[in-house]
Amino acid sequence: MLAARARRSDAEAVFLCGLIDTNVGEVLAALRRALPSVPVIGCDGLLPASLLFERAGPAARATYVSIEGLVNERLGAAGKTFLRDFSATQPGAKVDIAAVHAVQAAELLLDAIARSNGTRASVSSELFETRVRDGLLGSFAIDVNGDPTATPITILRLGMAGGQTSSRTTRGRAWTASSCPRVDCSHRAVNPFVLYLGLAGFS
C-alpha cells in the first residue's frame, strides 16, 4: 500500500501528483493518516480545491499545491481590471485564471498578425518579437523556445484562514517580496529525500 510505503520511508515531505479523477483525494487522506505531521506538496492535478476537499475531507487542509503561473489575487492592475469587467458577464461572477491566460495569448496572436505581412512565417516571426509591458499577466517577452520569459510558480496552501486558499508566488528560486498577511510564509529545509507517489493505475 502506498501510504505504508511512505510511512516506512522516513520521508520529511511527500510530493503527490495525480488527478482527482484518479483518486488522488483518497490517496491524500491515506497519507495523512499514515504521516499526520509530514507536509504534503502536490501538483495542480489536486485542483480545484473544492473537489479535493470533497474527496479527501479534512486531510486536504494545509496541503501545498504548486501551479504554473499566477492566481487571480496576484495579477497586476491590467489583469485585475480585466477580471472585474469580465466577471460581470459570468454566472457567479467568477473567472478562472485560465481565462486570463487565454485572453493574453489571443491578444499576442492578434497583435502579431497585425504586424505581419500576412504569411504564416511572418506571424510566427512577429510572435517571437513580442514584448509585453504591464499586460494582463504582467511584463514579459517570448523566448527562443516560444515560452514567456516571466515564469512565476504559485504555491497554494489549502484550507487556511477559515477555509480560504492562500497563495505565495515565486519566480525562479526566490520568493517574491510582496507580503500577504494571510499566508504562512515560514519554511525550512527538509531531508532531500522526498517520496514521489505515482497514481497510474491506482484504485
Residues 64 and 78 in one domain: no
Name the residue among 31, 39, 40, 37 with its Cα closest to residue 2.
31
pLDDT digits (tens, 9 = 90+) for 53-99: 999 999 999 999 988 888 888 899 999 999 999 999 988 888 888 89
User: 53 and 92: one domain?
Assistant: no
Same domain, 128 and 172: no
What does the pLDDT read at residue 181? 30
Among 95-104, 115-124, 161-170, the least confident range: 161-170
In CATH, what number is assigned to the domain containing residue 185?
A: 3.40.50.2300
pLDDT, average across residues 41-56: 90
Domain contains 57: yes
Per the structure, how many domains does the chain have?
A: 2
Q: In the chain, what percentage of residues exceed pLDDT 70?
A: 78
Position 99 in a domain: yes
Cα–Cα distance between 203 and 201 in angstroms, integer?
6
List pLDDT tens digits, range 149-167.
987 888 888 985 444 455 5
At 168 the pLDDT is 60
How close are the terminal C-alpha atoms of the chain, in Å? 11
Domain assignment present for 146: no
Name the average pLDDT for the chain.
Answer: 79
The pTM score is: 0.66
**Residues 177 and 83 placed together within one structural domain of the fold:** no
Q: Are residues 94 and 186 in the same domain?
A: no
- Is 182 within the bounds of a domain? yes
Q: Are 161 and 188 found together in one domain? A: yes
Residue 64 and residue 78 share a domain? no
**What is the domain range of residue 124?**
73-141
Cell, residue 2: 502506498
Q: Which residue has the cell 510511512?
A: 7
Domain for residue 203, yes or no? no
